[in-house]
Amino acid sequence: MRGNSPLSETADRELLREAERKLAALLPPTWDVELEAGPPEIDGYFVVRSPQGAVARFLVEAKAGQIAGSAAMVSRALMLARTTALAPLVVTSYAGAALRRMCEENDVNYLDLTGWAWIRADSPAIALMTTGAERDPRPARPATITRLNGAGAGRAIRALLDSRGPGGVRALAERAEVTPGTVSKLLKALDAEAVVERGPTGQILSIRKRDLVERWTRDYKFLRTNRVGWFLAPRGVRQAVERAATGDPNLVATGSVALRRYLPDQQVPITALSQFAAYVPDLDDGSRLLGLVPTDRATANVILAVPYDPRLLDIRPTADDRLSVVDVGQTVADLMTLPGRAPEEADQLMRVLAAGDRAWS
Run of H or E including 88: strand 87-92
- Return d(Cα 243, Cα 255) in angstroms, integer: 17
**Region 226-245: what's the mean pLDDT?**
94
Q: Would you say residue 70 lies in a domain?
A: yes
Average confidence (pLDDT) over 104-119: 93
Domain span at residue 68? 10-130
Q: Which residue has the higher pLDDT, 217 or 164?
A: 217
Distance CA(271)–CA(147), nearest Å, equals 32
pLDDT attached to residue 2: 37
Residues 329 and 229 in one domain: yes
pLDDT of residue 107 exceeding 60: yes
Number of domains in the chain: 3
| Residue 141 resides in a domain | no
User: Which contiguous run of DSSP H or E holds residue 228?
Assistant: strand 227-232
Contacts of 129 (CB under 8 A, 6+ apart): 117, 118
Residue 8 predicted with pLDDT over 50:
no
Backbone angles phi and psi of 302, in degrees to 5:
-130, 135
Give yes or no: residues 104 and 227 share one domain. no
β-pairing, 227-232 vs 302-306, is antiparallel
Banded model confidence at residue 5, pLDDT cuts 50, 70, 90 = very low
Q: Is residue 327 part of a domain?
A: yes
pLDDT for 104 beyond 70: yes
CATH number at residue 185: 1.10.10.10
Q: Are residues 283 and 322 in the same domain?
A: yes
CATH code at position 17: 3.40.1350
Dump pLDDT digits (tens) for 32-71.
999 998 888 888 899 999 999 999 999 999 887 655 556 6
Task: Please indicate, yes or no, if residue 4 is contained in any of the structural domains.
Answer: no
